[in-house]
Each structure stands twice: as C-alpha cells, then as structure tokens.
Amino acid sequence: MSASEPTTIVSPREVQVGRRKFLRNAGALGLGVAASLSAGTALAESAQERAQEIEQSKDTVKEIFTAALIAEDLASTFYFNGLVGSVIQDDALAGPGGTATNVTPAGDFGNVQYIRAALAEEISHASLFRSLLGISDASKDPVQTFYFPSGSFDTLGPFLALLDALENAFIGAYMNAIQEFATMSSRLRILGFLEGNEQKYTAEQLDYFAKVAASIMGVECEHRVLGRDIGEMTPANNRLYESTDGINAVFNGPNSAVAALTPFLTPSTGPAYSLGFALANQSAVAATVAGAPPAF
C-alpha cells in the first residue's frame, strides 16, 4: 500500500473462541451448484453456498486480519520449535547430533533450509498483519501461548503430520479471505457503501487486501508441498487445485479458520509454547529470505 494511503485499524478485541474439533470435516467444499439449463432459469445457489455466504458476511476486515495474525504467530511458534526440538536430528533434517545451523553429513541441508525459511516467512507475515492492526509489537498480540500435542517436536512423523494439517488450514483461511475481500469490494462498488467499520476502506484497498492474502497463500502452499517433500511423499505437489479444508469463513462460524485453530489455544491439547520465546530466539535459526508484500 502506498505511503500516502496508510491503513490504521484499532487494536483487535480479545479473541473469544469455543472449543471445537480440530479441522472438522476436512476436505474441499463442493464447488458444484445445482443448475437448470432451461431458458430463462438462472443457476441455482446451493444451501451449502448460502450458509457459507452467511458466515463470511459476518467477518470484518479487522477480524480477518486478527485471525491471520493468530495463525501466523502459531506458525512461527511451530516452525521455531521444530528447528530447536529433537526432531531436527532426524536423518531427513540435520541428522544425529546436528542442529538447524550445523547439518551433519548424515542429514539433509536442503530440508533444513526449507524449515528455516518457513520460519522467516511466517514471522514476516505476522509483522505485516501486526502493522495493519496497529499493534506496536508482538508482546501485544492477542495470543501469546500456543499448545501442541505431546511429541509434536520429538520425531519426524508427528511433526510433518502437524505441518501438513496446519498449512492446509492456513491455505483454506487465506482462500476464504480472498473471497471475502473480493465480495466486500464488489458490494462497495455496486452499493456505494458498506456497513459499519468497513466504510473506512476504499474498494481499491479491499482489492489490495485480497492480493496480499493471495500472495501469502502462495507461500503457505509452498510450505505444504515442501513438508510433503521432506516426508518423501510422491508426488509432493499432489493437487490440481488447493483446498479450503472444510473452512468456509475466516473468523466467524463453526467452520471458520478461528474454529480450526482453537485447539492450539487450548491447554488440554498439550504442552505450552511461548510466542515471545520463539521470536526472541528466532534469529539463531531462521534463514534470510528476500521479498516484500505486493505493490498496491
């Protein structure tokens, strides 16, 4: 976004989410719609589509940014602990006795670099959303502690399974964010106004938010495939199209991205991991990755 058009959003409200089953109903939402091809009959909208539109219509720009920040902080915490946990000594990563910055001859330098780069990328994404929300530093982010199942960072199998589950959820979240921003922009252009706090944005800004969400989603897709590559899954790029993973909105509703992330905000899931600790120590293990958000 150009310097002449800053976007300032008030600090996000405290996120209140219920405990729901993690990534329920995984898999893509059906893309087909019932249709009649008889003359003068419009395509019929399915009940599933109507339900999705209702949930999406509840999301505000601030809520979308807030959900994205929580997701990126979760991802930053996840990748940091993967780099410092005992899983890093797997042969597919740094090898026995190795570390994120000292890969042994028995390890795989390229695979370790994948994880190191992913950490840097998730931290960058979080910083962007933090700036859009007007949050001065990470210590003021809405979630400071994340919970992962026991053993998530001990061995390769559980770590890669969790990586795949998280990245699928992130992809689904950003796919929905793109659609929601596009819908807001279209309504603003057609109606000339939007309800509530959304009125502060122009259609061009909403278009830009969709572009940013798409650029981040592309990187999350890379993470999903590279995780599969580390696990020697063939083909690693195993989809014709990415999936919403059962997510039909970003912030609101039982099948939202926030609902999917809820287990990682819940102590009963497993051990606690600090976002602050991960960010304070990330420079020792993160790779240097170039790039910037797309132009406005």
Q: Where are the alpha helices (DSSP H) in the chain?
A: 47-58, 61-84, 109-132, 156-191, 203-230, 257-261, 275-281
**Can you give the pLDDT at residue 151?**
98
**Can you give the pLDDT at residue 55?**
74
b/e map of 32-56 (b: 16 or more CB within 10 Å)?
eeeeeeeeeeeeeebeebeebeebb
In degrees and rounded to multiples of 5, residue 102 shows phi and psi of -145, 80
DSSP code, position 12: P
**Can you give the pLDDT at residue 185?**
95
**Can you give the pLDDT at residue 196?**
67
Give the chain's count of helices (H) and strands (E).
7, 2
**Can you give the pLDDT at residue 236?**
98
Please tell me the pTM assigned to this model.
0.83
Total Cβ atoms within 10 A of residue 133: 22
**Can you give the pLDDT at residue 8?**
36
How far, in Å, CA of 21 to CA of 17, rounded? 12
**Can you give the pLDDT at residue 15?**
33
- Decide: 222 and 121 in contact? Cβ < 8 Å: no
How far, in Å, CA of 69 to CA of 46, rounded? 32
Please list the pLDDT of the chain residue by residue as tens digits (296 residues).
Answer: 433 333 333 333 333 333 333 333 333 333 333 233 333 444 566 887 777 777 778 899 999 999 999 999 999 999 999 999 999 999 999 999 999 999 999 999 999 999 999 999 999 999 999 999 999 999 999 999 999 999 999 999 999 999 999 999 999 999 999 999 999 999 999 988 887 666 789 999 999 999 999 999 999 999 999 999 999 999 999 999 999 999 999 999 999 999 999 999 999 999 999 999 999 999 999 999 999 999 99
